[in-house]
Each structure stands twice: as structure tokens, then as C-alpha cells.
Amino acid sequence: MMAAEIKERAREKLKGYCRVCPQCDGRACAGEVPGMGGILSGSSFQNNVDALAMYHINMRTIHQVENPDTSLKLFGRVFATPVFIAPLTGASYNLGGALSEQDLASAFVEGALLAGSCAFTGDGAETEIYAAGLEAIKRFHCGIPIIKPREMKMLAERIAQAEAAGALAVGIDLDGAGLVTMALKGHPVGPKSFYQLRDLAARTPLPFILKGIMTAQEAEMAVEIGAAAIVVSNHGGRVLDGTPGVAEVLPEIVERVRGEIFIFADGGVRNGIDVLKMLALGANAVLIGRPAIWGAVGGGSEGVRQMVAAMTEQLRHGMLMTGCVNLKAVDYHVIY
């Protein structure tokens, strides 16, 4: 199955929820939440894409790099690529039931594993959403559950479930603090204090991840909390209108906490050159959202594998054309 075929099948199955636009920039789907768009004007979604487009690449071809290495080590495991799958859920209300929640989670976790990557799994207002992710992690022995910022007792219970499932790590979806759909369905969420998060990080033996960091100050707080990683993310532009793009805030965050914590960048990544840009801006790895959904809906786990593999190959080619022998060699000199 070719990428074009996967996208065409996804376009048919997602009709009314995602147009699978040739240029996925959030303009056609602005305000479509639930759905695949950005909240209100869609500017936060659009800013993610526009911020990456502002950067250009310095081509360098006088060097000895012949076969760039895209592998990285994370939490004691070696992965073939820095392209990971974001926690994506809401099969019924965001994707129109194109897949079941179980099939969606399974496609992400298995597809990522087949590509030498790893999928984050998500949480939501329906009990089966978190359970579907845990089941996929148990089945394929890889995955990172991300939990919505629920009340503390429920957070502790779900972290324990992640430990029992054999998760690689566990995290909190801090950028989901304002999700109205959660409260409407009886699952209230909200911001968490420094001390609450520090307590949660100390309780679990798993590496602890904070997703939804958009300022240098909160990145420093994450280090003090004891988090193993942060995800620089505005939740795909789906929770607050008018935020800057991830690539805009990433350099300052990297300047403050580089070397102290693992940094994922999540926002607007659509191809391997976008991955290269995020890594050059200081991220250690990236998360992808909408391309992973197209892969899962259009081709199941094999579709996801192909999406990740294609991005990895595009990244490898970009590294070849910029003289980067491995991911550590990708730095700000790549950026024009």
C-alpha cells in the first residue's frame, strides 16, 4: 500500500471529520473541535505549522557522511527513529467512528513498533479509551500511557495500571486541563500544582513525563519535579486559541533545560524535514499526530508503520544533505 492510497482511504473514512488536506495547516478545519481542527479561530494549530515553515535548511554536501544513523536511546531502549506517535484518542467523537478505540490504539502501538518506534497512548472521557491503550501495551510490550490531569486519587490509580501493564514510561497530559468534553462526560480535569506533580513523579518507578509544556519556566519546574521528559506541546492547537507554535517556544526551552531532561516536540510535524527542523532547534525526538491518524485509518498498523518509516527516511535524507552523521550531530547549524 502506497502513502497516496493510505491517505485516500483515510479521506473516505474520515469524511466529515478530516479532509486529509494536501497541506495540513489547520485552515480548512478551524474551529472543528470535536473533530480534527484547532479550537475557535484555529490559530494555535496554524501557528504550529507556520512556525516550522519559517525555518529553512542549510544544505551541506562537502563531508564524509554516507549513511546517517537515526537511532536513539530512550529509557533504556534503543529505537530506530526519533519519530514517536502522540497520544491520540476519541475515535467516536473526533474520527466519526472510522475505527474503534481498541483498533485505533492497537494500530498505533503495533505500527510504531514495526517501524522501530514507540507510541504514546491516551486517556479520555470513556473508560475504554485508557483501557484500550493499556491492552495494546500489554499485547505488544511497548508503549507510554499519557493520563489526563484528573483528580489525584484517579491519577495514582491509572499510574499503577500503567506499571502493571508493563509500560515503558507514564505521563500526564497537562495540556488537557481545559478539555470541556471531559467535564461534560463526568470526568473533570484541571491544572496540577508543582507539589502534586512532584508527589506523583516520586511515587512511580517509571520514567515520568509532563506533556503540555510551552514556557521555559515550566520546563525548569519539570526538572525540579523530577520528570524524566517533557513534551513541548499546545495539544495540537485544540485547547487554547492564540498560543505560539511549538517551534517558536522550543529554542528558549532548550536553552534552559538542555541536558537535564529529555525533550519531545509535538506540533505541526508533517514530514521528515519538519523532524529535522525540530531536532535542529534542540528537541531530542518528536511526536506526530494527524499523519499517524491517517495511517491508522487508511491502513491500520501497516499504515502507521509506513507513515513513520517514510518520515524516518525523509529525515535520513535530510541528514545526508546537511552532513549529520547521527542525531547528536543535528544542531542549530542545520537551520538557516
* CATH class in words for 3-18+27-334: alpha beta
| Percent of residues in the chain assigned helix, strand, coil, to nearest 5 | 45, 15, 40
Predicted pLDDT at 64: 96
Predicted pLDDT at 191: 96
DSSP conformation class of 126: S
Given a cut of 80, whether residue 41 has pLDDT beyond it is: yes
- When pLDDT is averaged across residues 79-96 and rounded to a whole number, the result is 95
The 10s digit of each residue's pLDDT in 102-126 is: 999 999 999 999 999 999 999 998 8
Mean per-residue pLDDT of the chain: 96
The 10s digit of each residue's pLDDT in 208-265 is: 999 999 999 999 999 999 999 999 999 999 999 999 999 999 999 999 999 999 999 9
Given a cut of 90, whether residue 177 has pLDDT beyond it is: yes
Kindly report the number of other CB atoms within 10 A of residue 182's CB atom: 20
The two beta strands, 262-266 and 285-288, are parallel
**DSSP E strand boundaries for the chain:** 72-74, 77-79, 83-85, 120-121, 144-147, 170-173, 208-213, 229-233, 262-266, 285-288
The 10s digit of each residue's pLDDT in 302-316 is: 999 999 999 999 999
Q: What angle do CA 184, 185, 191 make, to 5 degrees?
A: 65
Helix (H) or strand (E) holding 277: helix 272-280
- When pLDDT is averaged across residues 144-165 and rounded to a whole number, the result is 97
The 10s digit of each residue's pLDDT in 275-293 is: 999 999 999 999 999 999 9
